[in-house]
Amino acid sequence: MARLILLNKPHGVLSQFTDEGSGHPTLADYVNVPGVYPAGRLDRDSEGLLILTDDGKLQARIADPKFKKPKTYLAQVEGVPDDAALAALAKGVTLKDGPTQPARVRRIEPPDLWPRVPPVRYRKSVPDSWIELTITEGRNRQVRRMTAYVGHPTLRLVRWRIGDWTLDGIAPGLWRDA
């Protein structure tokens, strides 16, 4: 039976088990389970759900965009996206590496999340807001690039859901078996 671990990856942690001299914390600092590997990645500046498994085929089904596994992110963005910005994200935007697939997107109230360490830089003169964005791809820094494209750079990014798996009840740095 395949092992499936749901980890709430903290901000600043690399999505790999070795740091290759970078000095950044890695998955090895949080998960002491031999033989599991991440199914996909989250960049160092992002936090949230990372799935680890010892099953290579399952790992591919979760991570490979051809399987179109939906991934839902909660993004704190600079400014307040208007309907046109949300419509552009929903339709798909053209980034340097090509057009994105359509996304599901909506404005949301600030979610009840743990404090980020370090905190997001606060600017009195620039408001921020939250959106929920669901994509089926997973390009490098895709959500950040999409929100920047529509004029609302991402300040904080939390992956909340992959398919039917969620972060619900998992504190930062902790994990549970799925």
Token pair in block for residue 143: 């959500």
Cα–chain center distance at 130: 14
Only one residue has tokens 């500046």, namely 45
Select which of 43, 45, 64, 97 is catalytic.
43
Cα gap 151→79, rounded to integer Å: 8
- The candidate with the shortest Cα–Cα distance to 71, out of 8, 9, 137, 10, is 137
Active site residue 164: no
Q: Which residues on adjacent β-strands are paired with residue 171? A: none
Is the bond leading into 118 cis (omega within 30 degrees of zero)?
yes
- CB proximity list for 48: less than 8 A, separation 6 or greater: 8, 9, 42, 73, 74, 157, 158, 159, 160, 167
Catalytic (active-site) positions = 43
